[in-house]
Amino acid sequence: MKVKSKAHFSTQAIHAGYDAKLNHGSLIPPIHISSTYAFDSVEQGGAAFQGENDRFIYARLGTPSQQMLEQRFAQLEQAEAALVCASGMGAITATMWSMVKPGDEVIADLSLYGCTYSFLEHGLKSFGIKVTYLNLTDSKSLADHISPKTKLVYSETPSNPNMRLIDIESLSQITQNYDCKLMIDNTYCTPYLQNPLALGADLVVHSATKYLGGHGDLIAGFVAGSQEDIDHIRMYGLKDMTGAVISGFDVSLLLRGLKTLHVRMDRHCENAQKVAEFLDQSEHVKHTFYPGLDNFPQQALAKKQMHNSGGMIAFELHASRDQAARFVNNLKMILCAVSLGDAETLIQHPASMTHSTYTEEELLQHLISPTLLRLSVGLEHIDDIIADIKQAFQSVFSDEDLAVSGLAISA
């Protein structure tokens, strides 16, 4: 499945799949916004519908600029093929609808993005598909539960929002013994930091809204895998089931974002490492979850399957749920917002925001603490990021607050 190229990642991200000489010398690929494409004859059109030529038919099936973007991304993700969709959830749902049918089972990890969890609960389950949640940090749990009815195993790594890692290679060694696909959400890492397909996964999905776009100005998603799987997802899950078709303008923005992905990710990682180290030393922080910390419980796995530690941090406060919310509300430069991977540093309270559809019992079952905060470390100067966190701690954790929580610090 791996697509080999002599060029380095950064070069591929800028040049793969495009030749300016074939486009009137235009340095930037053209934006194709036509919804339909004309044929020279009925016979040519008929051949296109039968897949006997490579003519474009209708934008729901692809456009020239979309095709180029997909070829470039497939090369970055070391895949045979890729499909770009109108959102991350569009990519996830188009893929899952294409891979399972009533009576099948999907096994998913305990920790998932809130909308993915909602889709599994309210989408797949309502159509007669069994969904089982396991702690996939222990591959033995999968080995003990997988059966011939299991057609899809799904996980994020690192997981949203609590940064748990899944050993992709270990899971793939189990799923390959069954008629079952291993599907990994690689949004947090991007292909620059992690390559699930090279580790044995069958399918990899992304919310391209995040780091791949990188500027908070588009909504998009990717799925990458074998040519056979991607063709099936395009013609069934995307064309017939979801219609989650990306616009030509967002294709252009994504191509622009990919050109600087490696530079941005290096800075995200550098800043996040320093923020994580600061939080880990703070008396206000109970736990800091970041793969680059020496005390991160899965650091060995991080070094094995990730090229760097990423720009996402999860941390729990020595506080009440109300104090956690007050901390977020007292930040000045750091913005309270969902999404991640933008130039701006963003923070959110999962229990109140992205995972608010979970009941209190479900939050505990899925390992989400009521004081857990998710921090997407941006590209600002590191001193300014840390200074804002310091002032928010000082604003919220007064001597009175500390005394009430039993954490008063002696002078």
pLDDT at 408: 39
> Is 185 assigned a catalytic role?
yes
The answer as to whether 312 is a domain residue is yes
Is 125 part of the annotated catalytic residue set? no
**Does 73 share its domain with 173?**
yes
Q: Is residue 48 part of a domain?
A: no
* Same domain (yes/no): 66, 177: yes
> Among residues 259, 281, 297, which one ends one of the domains?
259
Which of 259, 276, 308 represents a domain boundary (last residue)? 259
Question: Residue 72 catalytic?
Answer: no
CATH of the domain at 291: 3.90.1150.10
pTM: 0.92
> 60, 149, 321, 326: which is the annotated catalytic residue?
60
Residues 95 and 202 placed together within one structural domain of the fold: yes
Residues 284 and 164 in one domain: no
Q: Which residue range(s) make up the domain with 317?
A: 262-405
Condensed to tens digits (0 to 9), the pLDDT of residues 42-84 reads 999 999 999 899 999 999 999 999 999 999 999 999 999 999 9
In a domain, 55, yes or no: no
Residue 411 is predicted with a pLDDT of 26
Whether 275 and 250 share a structural domain? no
Residue 60 catalytic?
Answer: yes
Residues 359 and 210 in one domain: no
Enumerate residue ranges in the chain where pLDDT < 70: 1-4, 399-411
Give the chain's domain count: 2
Q: 18, 113, 188, 211: which is the annotated catalytic residue?
A: 113
The Cα 352–Cα 339 span in angstroms is 14
CATH number at residue 154: 3.40.640.10
Q: Which among 259, 292, 327 is the end of a domain? A: 259
* pLDDT value, residue 3: 55
Same domain, 134 and 20: yes
Among candidate residues 164, 181, 210, 374, the one labeled active-site is 210
Annotated catalytic residue within 185, 202, 229, 342 = 185
Residue 39 within a domain: no
